[in-house]
Amino acid sequence: MDAGSRSGAGKASRRGDDAGRATGREPRIPLPSELRYSAFSVADARAAGVSRGRLRNRTEGRPFHGVRVPEVLSAPGEIDRLLGLHGARDEFEALAERMRDLDRSYVPIMSAVQAFGGVSAVRLCGLPLPLRLLRDPTVHVIVPKGRNPPRARGVSARSVPARFWSVHALRGASIASPELLYCLLARDLSVRELVQLGDALVSEAGNYPGRTLPWALTSRERLTAAVDAWAGCAGAAPLRAATGLLRDGVESPWETVTRLVLVESGYPEPAVNFQLMSGMRKIARLDLADLRARIAYEYDGDGHRKDKRQWRLDVTRSREIQGERWSHVRLTVADLEPATGLETFTSYAHRLRAERLAG
């Protein structure tokens, strides 16, 4: 290479270095494999041999001071692609997974006396939350009363008296126990929303939608005891009202809502997940069953519409239920929206019941 070429190469190199300093980015150096797929602390990265210059690279997300999120998880388009691989079926599930990623990104700098509580704990457990709380960009933690709470931007801390402090591990994170979690949410949820949460906590259904663990997280008896102990604390009254409405065996939050709107309209409470039999043959497990009037109420989510095989099975199943001289009422979310179809649905349910009992 002649002198001119060497001079040109040197200038190009200096220009590249200047550009790197101007943008705060060191030339792309792959992260160690153990840091590529989840949030990590700067301290852990330095211990793994990552340079300070590499950590100043703006390609990683920075949700909290001292935390980095790999580019593959912080780029919105890439998140959408990964969520598709993870099996998110709609926008709500995709949002839930994004918010869990946000909560988990706090783990690398979480102290030993902190645990996830409130909204963040519910999100990490995959339990039902109203949209206004699901999309809350704040990470919620709890600390024992008397310990210093975190003051990081984007983190909300709540002190919990020692007599209520109960936490356990969930996939490497410390999280409020189901009983404490239920009580903590009482100041944020309506009675109906608390019943949805409680039904999900005690449900033994392995197919409960979104739930992280496929088994009951607690029991009605344990929740009742926790609520009794919570007397005099924030949310005690709605907790008492909600706990008496919890039922075992519920398989989705929409089953809870359907049951509650029927009962609130004056309809006799239907049985939950009743096994309809014909002799020794099982016909169907009904979401909600009015045993006296022989009416089945079932909520159909989008999965019933999008899955061709499921839709065909549903048609056959509905015919078999009606073949046993039951009326089969199928609902969608529109039937449970106060602004659209709720009054129409409950009025229809009362009218149908009266007609069947009269006949």
284-310 pLDDT, tens digit per residue, is 999 999 999 999 999 987 655 566 777
Residue 6 forms part of a structural domain:
no
Residue 308 forms part of a structural domain:
yes
Q: Which two structure tokens, joined as six digits, stand for 355?
A: 């007609």
- Residue 346's domain is classified under what CATH number? 3.40.960
d(Cα 8, Cα 12) in Å, to the nearest integer?
Answer: 6
Mean pLDDT of 14-36: 55
Same domain, 292 and 211: no
Mean pLDDT of 105-128: 95
Same domain, 266 and 332: yes
Same domain, 52 and 142: no
Task: For residue 141, name the pLDDT band (cuts at 50, 70, 90).
Answer: very high
Same domain, 69 and 99: no
Percentage of the chain lying above the pLDDT 90 cut: 61
Same domain, 259 and 215: no
Does residue 184 have a pLDDT over 70?
A: yes
Same domain, 230 and 101: yes
Amino acid at 320: E
The predicted pLDDT at position 75 comes to: 46
Residue 315 forms part of a structural domain:
yes
Q: Which residue has the higher pLDDT, 52 or 319?
A: 319
Task: For residue 87, name the pLDDT band (cuts at 50, 70, 90).
Answer: very low
Domain end among 220, 251, 282: 251
Quick one: which of 214, 256, 243, 18 has its CA closest to 130? 256
In 246-260, which positions are buried (b, 16+ CB within 10 angstroms) versus exposed (e)? bbebbbbbbbbbbbb
Same domain, 263 and 245: no
Percentage of the chain lying above the pLDDT 70 cut: 83
Q: Which two structure tokens, joined as six digits, stand for 55?
A: 């950590």
Same domain, 227 and 149: yes
Residue 10 forms part of a structural domain:
no
The predicted pLDDT at position 55 comes to: 73
d(Cα 227, Cα 237) in Å, to the nearest integer?
Answer: 9
Q: Which residue has the higher pLDDT, 92 or 156?
A: 156
Domain end among 251, 269, 300: 251
The predicted pLDDT at position 22 comes to: 41
Q: Which residue has the higher pLDDT, 145 or 22?
A: 145
Same domain, 189 and 260: no
The predicted pLDDT at position 50 comes to: 81
The predicted pLDDT at position 174 comes to: 97
Residue 14 forms part of a structural domain:
no
Total count of domains within the chain: 3
Residue 145 forms part of a structural domain:
yes
Task: Yes or no: say if 199 and 247 are a contact pair by the CB < 8 Å rule.
Answer: yes
Least trusted range by pLDDT, from 68-77, 113-122, 229-238: 68-77
Cα dist. 324→168, 278, 296, 359 in Å? 47, 8, 11, 16
Task: For residue 94, name the pLDDT band (cuts at 50, 70, 90).
Answer: confident
Residue 79 forms part of a structural domain:
no
The predicted pLDDT at position 83 comes to: 41
Same domain, 272 and 138: no
User: 320 lies in which domain range?
Assistant: 254-358
The predicted pLDDT at position 36 comes to: 67
Residue 223 forms part of a structural domain:
yes
Q: Which residue has the higher pLDDT, 126 or 102?
A: 126
Mean pLDDT of the chain: 85
H or E stretch at 227 = helix 220-229
Does residue 198 have a pLDDT over 90?
A: yes
Least trusted range by pLDDT, from 163-167, 216-220, 242-246, 297-301: 297-301
Mean pLDDT of 137-151: 95
Domain end among 219, 251, 283: 251
Q: What is the pLDDT of residues 28-76, one digit of tens each?
A: 677 787 776 667 777 777 777 787 877 777 777 777 677 777 764 444 4
The predicted pLDDT at position 305 comes to: 57
Same domain, 96 and 239: yes
Same domain, 63 and 177: no
Read off the pTM.
Answer: 0.79
Q: Which residue has the higher pLDDT, 225 or 341?
A: 225
